[in-house]
A and B are shown apart, each in its own frame.
Chain A
Amino acid sequence: MIAEVGHYALILALGVAIVQTVLPLIGTRLRDPQLTAVAVPAAQAEFILIGFAFLALMTAYVTSDFSVANVWQNSHSAKPMLYKISGVWGNHEGSMLLWVLILALFGAAVSTFGKNLPRQLQANVLAVQGSIAVAFLLFIIITSNPFMRIDPAPFDGEGLNPVLQDPALAFHPPFLYVGYVGFSMAFSFAVAALIDGRIDAAWARWVRPWTLAAWMCLTLGIAMGSWWAYYELGWGGFWFWDPVENASFMPWLAGTALLHSALVMEKRDALKVWTILLAIITFSLSLMGTFLVRSGVLTSVHAFAVDPERGVFILAIMGVFIGGALVLFAWRAPLLTQGGLFAPISREGSLVLNNLLLTVACAAVLVGTLYPLALEALTGDKISVGAPFFNLTFVPLIVPLLIAMPFGPLLAWKRGDLLAAAQRLTAAAVVSLAVIIVVLALHQNGPWLAPLGIGIGVWLIVGAVTEIAYRVKMFDASGEEVWRRLRNLPRAAYGGALAHAGVGVMVIGLVATSAWREERIVALAPGGSVDIAGYQLTFKGVVPRIGPNYRERVGTFVISRGGSQFTVLHPSKREFTVERSTTTESGIHNGWRGDLYVVLGDQLKDGAFSVRVYFNPLVRLIWIGALIMFFGGAVSLSDRRLRVGAPKRARTKAAMATGGK
């Protein structure tokens, strides 16, 4: 019963979304305030209906109602409750439902908290949001109905893919989707501005918090996925340049560029047309990410042909929205007036460089991701574009950006002084050089580029500290004055510096673990031992154990250093009976120098086990860096100037801030 009600709610939501799209657009054309005002309650009703459908599906999962085909295919009564719930979005149909739920949530947020928005803009934004909802609701109802029944109902379910039964992965898709779908706000605002043919600094102030929130969630979502791949897939890697990963990374790169260009638009009323275009590109990449992952086209052009209905449908959605927005852009963008002149060496100039390098790097990733698909479709040749390609293209493009990063915040708006900025960064340069020399001395036979990479990471961190120190006149003013300035510095300044420092922390982790990772593959009989990175691992044997929905063989490894034992690791191999598959649970010891990572392999003929041991130096800094970036975004979002719903007040403050420099 509940499934049918959920299905019905979904169809009602489609009707409401159509109303939300059509009536406000007519209303704003005819200047009819009553029709325009329909947008607000429609967006809220749409959210309630989709939320109800989502809860209905979740109820079917929690109560293990196997007469619903989707539950039967992806759940099992013996599965732990957390994974019954996360199973809702651990499959195609449910995850698309989550996608529209988040879309509706953003729409409801604009209609509820957007009371200060100009009516016309709000109605147009909600209409665009509504049209996206119409497309995806149609997609779900026609090709991917999660409420399909089967008769007779099977006795038990087929289970969820065991590698997905993991806490980090349970929350990875929701965060990723909040990121993807969050960029639809920037897109809707951009299209609404184009429909209006009018755009001003207040527009950027409205778009920035939404983009920032989406960017934060995407950052966290990608980091969670990478963290999961690191400990669950059992080969100790954190990023594989897999097309699925690239699909989420490209919107991140474009979204990062958008955050920065919206800053120029808000503060200086410049780069308007570019910001609008970037908003369209960012959401287009999100749509493309959804298409690539959901259509099956990634594994092969042929997999796309296996289920063409879904793929063609999403491709059509992509075509309509990307094509439509770009046509609208070409038609209406000339109406937008350009403003805010600036010299090449200035804060604006540095942000243009940021945008240029980020978008070009994003384009390189796009080429590497789509080239194999294009080649297979055209010639039938099958190739794989992996890490070597991206290391050769993405890395050289992003390194200049990292080196230039600390300069940007130290340059003044309109006309900056590069020499003065360089002088302020002397201390950061000296510290980085010292670190490079120390690292070179420690690793004389290591890869010679790696110390430079560590130096760049340190340069970013010290550069971020320098920016704050300079802004509060750390060395020029009295202690009292510095304290006053520290308190009065806008939170956005702290947030930006924190996020930049987070990038530095991540760079150090990436470089260290890529350059100095150690690996041993050995056959170990109980009692045998292996040495790695100053640790000694002694294998004590394997015991069987029974889990809630699996059986496992657990190995015991005693880790000692300098002759004294200090910890025990238990890597295991799990056999999931229902799903008839195995997973590897690695044993990880987290020391201050890095991670010791042990994987238990197969049993060999003579009773020994093949064992893989890694030492990944400083690898945790990668995720710690991502967390710092997330918190930087959060601090920035808490700034009063960015607070949603206070644009009027913000205008005067922002004007004062710019005038004061």
Chain B
Amino acid sequence: MTRKQRRGVLISTCLVVLGLAVGLVLYAMRDSIVFFYSPSDIAEMQLAPTQRIRLGGLVETGSVERATGTTIRFVITDGGKTLPVTFTGVLPDLFREGQGVIAEGTVQADGVFHADNVLAKHDENYMPPEVAAKLKTKGMWRGDSEAGGASPQATN
């Protein structure tokens, strides 16, 4: 094998691997990205029941009720619109009424959000930043500087 051929093998291998990687990334970008919306955003758009989204806002005070078994219902609000949510499972430690929360799941045909994952960070002052940004635009922001408070991962 000449020097030129060796270089050819090297370069074509690199191109194949890079091409594969770019293809995979583009494919994954299309299918596995989850968008973040507030209840007001969802009211303005038509979402297919199959599209996974993240829903953020405050847990409306007095809205949490435990249905049969481990299913929990609550309402997420951003000051403007509200959206009822059902979730089956164990809620995170810092899930509280009046606190910021992010739920991941799909909007069903009956207008109820089925969450399969609920996130609340481990700090009572913590507000998910997406929620804080949405609340600011809705004028519900109470303006404490601790919004970006320490999440447990911040120690890395």
Contact = CB atoms under 8 A, between A and B. Distances in A.
A521 B70 contact: yes
A357 B34 CA distance: 27
B1 interface: yes
A367 B25 contact: yes
Interface string B61-75: 000001001100000
B90 A612 contact: yes
Interface of A: 89-92, 95, 161-164, 169, 172-173, 176, 225, 233-234, 242, 244, 247-248, 289, 293, 296, 299-300, 302-303, 306-307, 341-344, 352-353, 356-357, 360-361, 363-364, 367-368, 371, 381-386, 388-389, 391-393, 396-397, 521-523, 573, 580-584, 599, 601-602, 604-605, 610-612
B156 A293 contact: yes
Nearest to A396: B24
A90 B35 contact: no
A389 B69 contact: no
A393 B88 CA distance: 30
B152 A164 contact: yes
A397 B20 CA distance: 8
A389 B156 contact: no
Interface string B128-156: 11101100000000000101101111111
B-side interface mostly: helix
Given A343-B6, A344-B10, A573 B123 contact: no
Interface of B: 1, 3, 6, 9-10, 13-14, 17-18, 20-21, 24-25, 27-29, 31-36, 54, 66, 69-70, 88-91, 93-94, 122-124, 128-130, 132-133, 145, 147-148, 150-156
Contact of A164 (B20, B94, B147, B155): B155
A163 B70 CA distance: 25
Contacts of A367: 25
A582 B156 contact: no
A601 B18 CA distance: 46
B124 A580 contact: yes
A522 B69 contact: yes
Given A164-B155, A306-B148, A360-B21, 20 more contacts: A91-B150, A92-B154, A289-B156, A299-B129, A300-B133, A302-B132, A306-B145, A344-B13, A352-B10, A356-B13, A360-B17, A368-B25, A368-B28, A385-B34, A392-B31, A393-B24, A396-B20, A396-B24, A604-B70, A612-B90
Given A382-B130, A383-B34, A389-B29, A523 B21 contact: no
B156 A173 contact: yes
Contacts of A381: 35
Nearest to B151: A299
A282 B136 CA distance: 39
B41 to A, nearest CB: 10
Contacts of B132: 302
A341 B3 contact: yes
Given A163-B152, A300-B133, A382 B36 contact: yes
A360 B91 CA distance: 38
Contacts of B148: 296, 299, 303, 306-307
Contacts, number: 156
Across the A-B interface, the 8 shortest Cβ-Cβ residue pairs: A388-B32, A300-B129, A601-B90, A382-B36, A392-B28, A244-B153, A303-B148, A582-B93
17 contacts: A95-B155, A242-B153, A300-B129, A302-B133, A303-B148, A307-B148, A343-B1, A344-B10, A388-B31, A392-B28, A392-B31, A581-B94, A583-B122, A601-B70, A602-B90, A605-B66, A612-B90
B89 A521 contact: yes
Contacts of B147: 306
Contacts of B151: 299
Contact of A90 (B3, B9, B155): B155
Contacts of A393: 21, 24-25, 28
Given A296-B148, A385-B33, A522-B69, A176 B20 contact: no
Contacts of B25: 364, 367-368, 393
B118 to A, nearest CB: 11
B156 A388 contact: no
Nearest to A289: B156
A485 B15 CA distance: 41
A384 B56 CA distance: 12
Contacts of B154: 92, 244, 293
Contacts of B91: 601-602
Contacts of B10: 344, 352
A371 B30 CA distance: 13
